[in-house]
Chain A
Amino acid sequence: MFLGTMIYALINSAILALMAIGFNLTFGISGVANFAYGAVYILAAYASWLLLNLTGISFWLAAPIAILLSMAFGAGMYRFVLLRVRGQALSEVIATFGIGLAVLELFNYLGLVGFEYTLPVLIDESFMIADTMVDMQRILIVLMAGLLVAGLWAFTHYTRLGLAFRGIAQDERTALTLGMDSDRIAMLAVSFGCGLAAFAACIVIPLGSISPSEGYEVLIKALAVCIIGGLGSTGGVILASFLIGFAERLTDAYISSHWTMIVSLAAILIVLVIKPSGFFGRQKELEERI
């Protein structure tokens, strides 16, 4: 039983990592605030669902299309909204928050909730691992999370575009003088982040059903992971996902499910008080401000 809880904790951590990775890319690594992140997650889910149920194409086609649509949404949001308030972090937050709010509440209003609003699992099989039933989807989630995290790390450390993402966050002016079009790169960062959110939605939503209020939860979980792990650090995302994932699962198993969210939220507050830059965040001096 304990081993079962451990396995599900691992899966939970993988889910958290998947959710956080896109936000980390946009905000942590590239420095662009995107508080519509949760909305994009849900948007992608509904887009997939619509494509599946209205046009009858297979999920293997619908999902990539949904991901591309989310990327386009992200790029559009940058081009028409974020671009005009670029640099004023607080306006970025409000503007993207407003958009995210509008999208999520629109879905809430349209009332598209219920068991029929769900996405299909990729491979419908289950395995017995150490006396616990684990379905293929969940195993896939863990695999995907690992791949994505490793991929992101490699991308931001070894590819030109990835390094550019980091460059514009560190010092935009220098990046500009080096010939990087910081606006285009920021737009790509937002777009990629949205794409990653969409990807996460496509593999995690099949575990349950689509619910707009989950959009807020996704944003908060992504925030929690990024703050605790340290904005911008891929290693931090891994560590924080494990920490929160295990804490949540253990709380759920041994205390009560009501307390799971309290645990993650309390964790954020504690980390902010003790080590605000997160576990692996770079300690920034007053000159650079945390």
Chain B
Amino acid sequence: MGAAPILEVRELYKNFGGVQAISDLSFELAEGELLGLIGPNGSGKTTAVNLITGFVKPTKGDVFFRGRRITGVAPYAIVGLGIARTFQMVKPFYRLPAYKNMIIPLYSPRVKKMAGGRYGDRDAVALDLLEEVGFERDAQVAYKTASALPQGYLKRLELAKAISLQPDVIILDELFSGLSLAEVASIVPIIEKLGMEGKTIIMIEHRLKELFRIADRVVVLNYGQKIADGKPGQVMESDAVKKAYLGVEA
């Protein structure tokens, strides 16, 4: 391997009052990689992401970003460093139009820093970003109130919010869930474009077929432990993974 990993998770443990949610989780992420984080329900995928992004403090272990220890750093500060994430349950500000939902991320110090010290016209930037994720400009979808938008658009809005922060690492928590095949097919190019721009991406997904088409590597969790780490094809051949997902001896 050449360059140092952009993100490194080292021997992470998390215990929630008796429930061992994560044990001995370690993996590295190279810059520009698209990593899939998969596993059965309850295997700790979202907890792992919460640990990386600072929303939850680990019981033991560390997280490193560009070689710098970020364990225990406040979540808003981690966003400021360049790691953005989306939430599995999208909760936009329902009473506001879609583009107004973008104002809050665009108000953050990170955006100001990346824009060279000035905010610029937030409304215009919001509309541009939304167009990039598929909000048709001529149909003025961006002006619709969030409560009137279907799930597909809300997921894109969530994605746009993460992109607006110009992060180096984007973590997408079940972006595809609740979307039709056509909707997924229309979002994948956006993600691929992010990859081509050099962004590192982690995707938690249950929809393996769609994920494996774009993932460079896959990490599999089961009951909070890593049971496989490798290319999508290889990982699915492993006995441990088959047992975890199907509960059957292969």
Contact = CB atoms under 8 A, between A and B. Distances in A.
Interface in B34-66: 50, 55-57
A124 interface: no
B56 A287 contact: yes
Interface in A252-290: 282, 285-287
A276 to B, nearest CB: 15
Contacts of B16: 285
A27 to B, nearest CB: 20
A112 to B, nearest CB: 48
Interface residues of A, number: 4
A25 to B, nearest CB: 21
A157 to B, nearest CB: 15
Main SS class of interface, B: loop
A285 B75 CA distance: 12
A285 B57 contact: yes
A281 to B, nearest CB: 12
B17 A282 contact: yes
B17 to A, nearest CB: 6
B84 to A, nearest CB: 17
Contacts of B56: 285-287
B17 A285 contact: no
A286 B17 CA distance: 15
A282 B56 CA distance: 15
A162 to B, nearest CB: 19
B50 A287 contact: yes
Interface in B1-21: 16-17
Nearest to A283: B17
A interface SS class: loop
Contacts of B75: 286
Nearest to A285: B56
A223 to B, nearest CB: 25
Nearest to B56: A285
A282 to B, nearest CB: 6
Contacts of A285: 16, 55-57
A168 B50 CA distance: 25
A282 B19 CA distance: 14
Interface in A229-258: none
Contacts of A286: 55-56, 75
A287 B55 contact: yes
B1 to A, nearest CB: 34
Nearest to A286: B55
Nearest to A282: B17
Contacts of B50: 287
Interface in A61-100: none
A120 to B, nearest CB: 47
A282 B15 CA distance: 13
A15 to B, nearest CB: 32
Contacts of B55: 285-287
Contacts of A282: 17
Nearest to B55: A286
Nearest to B50: A287
Instruction: Give the interface centre of B16, B17, B57 by most chain A CB atoms within 10 Å.
Output: B16
A285 B58 CA distance: 10
Nearest to B47: A287
A285 B46 CA distance: 14
B204 to A, nearest CB: 16
B16 to A, nearest CB: 8
A39 B103 CA distance: 45
A286 B54 CA distance: 9
Nearest to B57: A285
Interface string B126-149: 000000000000000000000000
A101 to B, nearest CB: 31
A282 B50 CA distance: 19
A282 B16 CA distance: 10
Contacts of A287: 50, 55-56
B240 to A, nearest CB: 29
A84 B40 CA distance: 39
B199 to A, nearest CB: 25
B30 to A, nearest CB: 29
Given A282-B17, A287-B50, 9 more contacts: A285-B16, A285-B55, A285-B56, A285-B57, A286-B55, A286-B56, A286-B75, A287-B55, A287-B56
11 contacts: A282-B17, A285-B16, A285-B55, A285-B56, A285-B57, A286-B55, A286-B56, A286-B75, A287-B50, A287-B55, A287-B56
The 5 A-B pairs at the shortest CB distance, nearest first, are namely A285-B56, A286-B55, A287-B55, A287-B56, A282-B17
Interface of B: 16-17, 50, 55-57, 75
